[in-house]
Amino acid sequence: MQDRPVQDGPVQDRPTQDPPVQDRPTPRIARRAFLTGLGGAALTACTPRQSAQPPPEEGFGPSPTPAPPVTVNAATGPVVVPGEPMRVVVLDTDVLDSALTLGITPVGAALPAADSRFPDYWPASRTAGIRLVGPAGTPDLEAVRLLRPDLILSNQTRDGDRFSQLSELAPTVLTQTAGAPWKADFQLHAQALGRVAAAAAFVASYQKHAGQVVQALAAAKLSGHKVSLVRFVEGGGIRLFGRQSFPGTVLADAQVGRPDAQNVDQSDFELPPDQLAKADGDLLLYSTYGDPDRAGTNATLASPGWQALGAVKAHRAFPVDDQLWFQGIGYTGANYMLDELQRFLGA
């Protein structure tokens, strides 16, 4: 499960005509362009319904006709949730993306342990009011209780062992895991959040965006390029990501190739430092979770093995935002990734 926080790795070579990596931000779609790409239907369906504290004081009192409770089929079985949850707590990065994508600002969120800030692919105005409730996987249950949630979202990998405790605080909807099944998980999140129509609009918009990227890459004769995904993980070594991972599925949607070692039905696996050749590709994208020294990023990038990679010698190895590429598990994160992929490939 790709669920660890961000810290960009050190600078890697770029073509001489480009500014150094640290002087040029990672390419991103202008927010206006991104929102336009989502389409009017998605935006109309997803008029933000921000959580409040408490709702009546912020103008979120009961609607004239309150929505009836809804039963959703979670990984733990059927769960009855409010028809219009207003005080949502999210305990992993995939549910954070889902809630914000669907126009709901959670009252509380857990972030991976090495993370000290919310992902910056979201504007600060969208995350400023969210209370941190401890690290993902070990949330502070008292902090959650004090937020008086009416819905808690997470997954069994993170919080299966505390499902009963969470359920005493609010209806708790868990998916099995986070990562490769993100599209199906988003549908469950949308049901629990009462945003099924908005979800359909975002799915259609993403599919259209992916199709446009596929066409652009094909027109530029770049579809056959093999894209390598490398993640330096503090305490977890160097990891390569296969097809059954969140970023792996986004690359598949863009119909780009993968290096042979990564063209496997796995999420991710550790790469011994003496086998760095398996990290090579026509384009190499790498990130760091945690401290670059303790994660081994700095030492690896300076090593002869890394410098000998074809992508490095061709100035086609780029650092990417870990919180986006490996933690931005959802439709908003995926949309930004498609844009960055197209830019990195030069289409």
Give the CA distances from residue 202 to residues 70, 176, 206, in Å, rounded to whole numbers and listed in that order. 22, 22, 6
Crossing angle for the helix pair 331-345 and 93-101, to the nearest 10 degrees = 100
Are 76 and 168 contained in the same domain? Answer: yes
Same domain, 62 and 178: yes
The mean of the pLDDT values for the chain is: 86
In a domain, 7, yes or no: no
pLDDT at 22: 33
Whole-prediction pTM:
0.83
Specify if 148 maps to a domain: yes
Residue 11 lies in a domain: no
In a domain, 147, yes or no: yes
Q: Using an 8 Å Cβ cutoff, are 285 and 228 in contact?
A: yes
Question: Is there a single domain that holds both residue 156 and residue 228?
Answer: no
The model's pLDDT over 269-309, given as tens digits with 9 standing for 90+, comes to 999 999 999 999 999 999 999 999 999 999 999 999 999 99
Q: Are residues 57 and 154 in the same domain?
A: yes
Establish if 1 belongs to a structural domain. no
Both 129 and 154 in one domain: the answer is yes
User: Do residues 297 and 231 both lie within one domain?
Assistant: yes
Structure tokens at 105: 């600002």
Please report whether residue 112 resides in a domain: yes
CATH (domain of 296)? 3.40.50.1980
> Is residue 10 domain-resident?
no
Q: Considering 135, 162, 194, which residue would you say is the last residue of a domain? A: 194
Domain assignment present for residue 9? The answer is no
* CA atoms within 13 A of residue 55's CA, in its CB half-sphere: 17
pLDDT, tens digit, 9 for 90 and up, residues 168-225 = 999 999 999 999 999 999 999 999 999 999 999 999 999 999 999 999 999 999 988 9
Strand partners, 285: 229, 318
**Predicted pLDDT at 64:** 64
Virtual torsion, Cα 54, 60, 63, 69, nearest 10 deg: -50
With a CB cutoff of 8 Å and minimum separation 6, the contacts of 206 are: 331, 334, 335
Our count of domains for the chain comes to: 2
Phi and psi angles of residue 132, each rounded to the nearest 5 degrees, phi first: -75, 135
Output the pLDDT for position 105. Answer: 98
Residues 175 and 276 in one domain: no
Q: Is the domain of 210 the same as that of 339?
A: yes
233 and 190 belong to one structural domain = no
Same structural domain for residues 179 and 216? no
Domain around 320: 21-34+203-345
Each residue's pLDDT, cut to its tens digit, for the chain (347 residues) gives 444 333 333 333 333 333 333 333 334 444 434 444 454 434 433 433 333 333 333 333 445 678 999 999 999 999 999 999 999 999 999 999 999 999 999 999 999 999 989 999 999 999 999 999 999 999 999 999 999 999 999 999 999 999 999 999 999 999 999 999 999 999 999 999 999 999 999 999 999 999 999 999 999 999 889 999 999 999 999 999 999 999 999 999 999 999 999 999 999 999 999 999 999 999 999 999 999 999 999 999 999 999 999 999 999 999 999 999 999 999 999 999 999 999 999 98
